[in-house]
Amino acid sequence: MSFKQYTLKCTALTPIHIGTGEELEPFNYHIEKEMLYVFDFSKFIKETTPQIRTELSKLIDQNDVIALRRFLRKHIDLEKYSLFKLPVAKEIASEYEAKKDDPKNQLLIKPFIRNEITFHPFIPGSSIKGAIRTAVLNYFLKKRDKKAIKDELSKVKPRFKSQKAEKLILNHKGPIDDPFKAVKITDAKLPLESTFVAEVFNYNLKKRRFNSMDMRIEMTKAMLLGEPLTFEFELTLLPEAKVSLSLSISLIKDACNEFYKKIAVYEHEKFYKHQPDLKEVSNRLLNSITDLKENSFILRLGRFSHAESMTLEGLRQIGVMGKGKKFTFQPEGTTRNLAMQKYPMGWCLVEFEE
């Protein structure tokens, strides 16, 4: 059997965030007129005058944070010495202006992962593959004896449970015969102007209120925001004879639609339908994933997708913080994290062509 290659076109329905594990501090950026400029500090140091380098070195030695911030804002030409720039929400621009000289406020921003040469944001193929893998695992779990799997998992140490569960569900012994060895997915390059910075809030269902997480996140634009974003990636299915199960684009499509549609409906019913603003957005999301074309499926990518979208039905053990900041493990979460107090994160619509 020859390999099969597909071009997949993805539409971001709601904002996506895939981070780097790093944070931008005010030394790295400046916000002006609701635009964030990320400094090319090395280029500035290399090209500036000896006098400015000397002054800057003194401020660093003095560890005067506020003076250093002011110095950079004064001397760096934003257009000349910025790696890239992107819009920020009005609220974040106002917060920056009010607190930029307050030493108690770090004003940290979590950036999107970017190509280190072109600085284009991108979605790693591994993130896409992971989202597909979760859906496929859930698909095959429904065809297995859950009780037998749970019995086997009860004999395994907690840190090995996930790995053991995957082997039992996909009927493989290790990396060599893992079905996803035959699945190759490229990174998805995003346009430079495809992201912006906004805040993510935690919605507490029990108290019916939002809590600030002090999290300023670079996220993608999206259809439900009125700013459509599409991107493409390649998916290749290799003819691996040794894998335990053979995967097809049709199976992947069915698994993703079955798994993620159920999550979207679950979140609507439990978290969103009782609050007018959240209900309106959730209804629009559900409408966009109903009556899909034959060659399309849905995915959920990135951070803030929530544990239900990354774990398997019937095997979920989600850590929930209770009284006294003690964790308990439950099959469902109790809160949601929403961009701008409104939008669930990570939802995508995928269409494919052979």
Of 81-95, 253-267, 309-323, the one with minimum mean pLDDT is 309-323
- The pLDDT confidence band at residue 103, using thresholds 50, 70 and 90, is confident
Of 95-109, 217-231, 263-277, the one with minimum mean pLDDT is 95-109
H helix or E strand, kind and range, residue 211: strand 209-220
Please state, rounded to an integer, the average pLDDT across all residues of the chain. 92
Beta bridge partners of 212: 201
- The pLDDT confidence band at residue 343, using thresholds 50, 70 and 90, is very high
pTM as predicted: 0.93
- Beta carbons within 10 angstroms of residue 95's beta carbon: 17
Of 17-31, 92-106, 243-257, the one with minimum mean pLDDT is 92-106
Looking at the chain, the whole-number percentage of residues with pLDDT higher than 90 is 73
Each residue of 48-69: pLDDT tens digit? 999 999 998 998 888 888 888 8
Q: Residue 186 in 3-state DSSP?
A: coil
What pLDDT, on the 0 to 100 scale, is given for residue 316?
80
- The pLDDT confidence band at residue 5, using thresholds 50, 70 and 90, is very high
Going by the DSSP 8-state scheme, the letter that residue 232 receives in this structure is E
What pLDDT, on the 0 to 100 scale, is given for residue 287?
97
- The pLDDT confidence band at residue 2, using thresholds 50, 70 and 90, is confident
Sorted by sequence, the CB contacts under 8 Å of residue 75 that are 6+ apart come out as 44, 48, 52
Taking the C-alpha atoms of residue 151 and residue 58, their distance in angstroms, rounded to an integer, is 64
What pLDDT, on the 0 to 100 scale, is given for residue 240?
76
Distances (CA, A) of 313 to 37, 207, 285, 290: 43, 26, 22, 21
Contact 112, 83 (CB under 8 A): no
- Which sign does the torsion angle of CA 240, 241, 246, 249 carry? positive
Q: Which backbone phi and psi does 238 adopt, to 5 degrees?
A: -90, 150
What pLDDT, on the 0 to 100 scale, is given for residue 322?
64
Mean pLDDT of 41-54: 92
Taking the C-alpha atoms of residue 135 and residue 158, their distance in angstroms, rounded to an integer, is 22
What pLDDT, on the 0 to 100 scale, is given for residue 354?
66
Beta bridge partners of 339: 200, 343
Mean pLDDT of 287-306: 96
Mean pLDDT of 212-224: 96
**Token code pair at residue 39:** 């400094």
Each residue of 120-154: pLDDT tens digit? 999 999 999 999 999 999 999 999 988 999 999 88
What pLDDT, on the 0 to 100 scale, is given for residue 232?
97
